[in-house]
Amino acid sequence: MPSSKTDTFRRLHESGCFVIPNPWDRGSAVFLAKSGFKALASSSAGFAWSQARPDNKVTVEQVLAHLHDLAEAVDVPINADFEDGFAREPERVAANVTRATGTGIAGLSIEDSTRDGGAPLYDLALAVERIKAARAAIDKSGTGVMLTARAEGFLVGRPDVSEVIRRLEAFAAAGADCLFAPGLNKKEDVAAVVKAVAPKPVNLIVVKPWITLREAADLGVRRISVGGALARAAWAGFAKAAREIADHGTFNAFAGNDPPLNLNAMFS
């Protein structure tokens, strides 16, 4: 049966635009939830870096345990970055999606990227079958988990908005609840995607300051995620301080910690 979290998550997509930031561990998830965000999304990159691995180099077992940890840590819905379903074949995607629905998540995304530099995207027919398989697995689970389909063209060197839209339209017809084309960075392209898949909601990722929440809402975007940007910002601050100590034996980077962030109070 659908949980209160999945019901809440679906309602968030009905109108307006909300930010769904991306924690990378239990602590960052709790911090974001206590900061007032109504839903959170996992980050494949952020989690991988926390495990001293590059993005897309963690196992499905590690990700499933991570998703369970995030969902258990907070009372708000969690959307899972489920990469490419950790499989090529639709039936294996379905099997992995079934397992993911048991972790307590409220949504998950499946992308059409192959991780193969020579052929970076699944052929459209196979990509559609993979979304259909994920849809069927979710429906069979009875959990009500939302399915987001991702068209990765802009991230793999194929920034053709017409092709991205063609894929998103096919994914919508295959049963995706929400559509997502990471890498879009022009308002006219965002507007075109929103129009093409309406009335289904669109996720926009923002990893640099080129658009505001209000502007995205005006374009019809329903939700905004930030991918690995928060994790990257945390690592950048950590790296700056560590390098200063290692290279110069000084501690000036710690001046930015005054007044200190009261993490003990946050996590009490």
Rounded to whole angstroms, the Cα distance separating 74 from 27 reads 10
The residue ranges of DSSP E strands in the chain, in sequence order, are 18-19, 40-41, 78-81, 107-111, 146-150, 178-180, 202-205, 223-225
pLDDT value for 117: 82
Q: Is the pLDDT of residue 1 over 70?
A: no
In a domain, 206, yes or no: yes
In a domain, 251, yes or no: no
Of 48, 170, 94, the closest CA to residue 181 belongs to 170
pLDDT tens per residue, range 134-160: 999 999 999 999 999 999 999 999 999
In a domain, 148, yes or no: yes
Strand order in the sheet with 178-180: 18-19, 223-225, 202-205, 178-180, 146-150, 107-111, 78-81, 40-41
How many folded domains does the chain comprise?
A: 1
Domain CATH code at residue 42:
3.20.20.60
Pairing, β 18-19 against β 146-150: unpaired
Q: Domain range spanning residue 220?
A: 4-228
Query: Residue 109: which region, alpha, beta or left (left: phi > 0; alpha: psi -120 to 50)?
Result: beta
pLDDT tens per residue, range 69-87: 999 999 999 999 999 999 9
What average pLDDT score do residues 3-24 get? Answer: 96
Q: What is the pTM of this model?
A: 0.96
Residue listed under structure tokens 């379905």: 94
In a domain, 258, yes or no: no
Task: Determine contact, residues 195/185, Cβ cutoff 8 Å.
Answer: no
Neighbouring C-alpha atoms within 13 Å toward the C-beta of 147 = 31
32 or 260: whose pLDDT is higher?
32
In a domain, 218, yes or no: yes
Chain CA centroid to CA 57, Å:
16
pLDDT tens per residue, range 230-252: 999 999 999 999 999 999 999 99
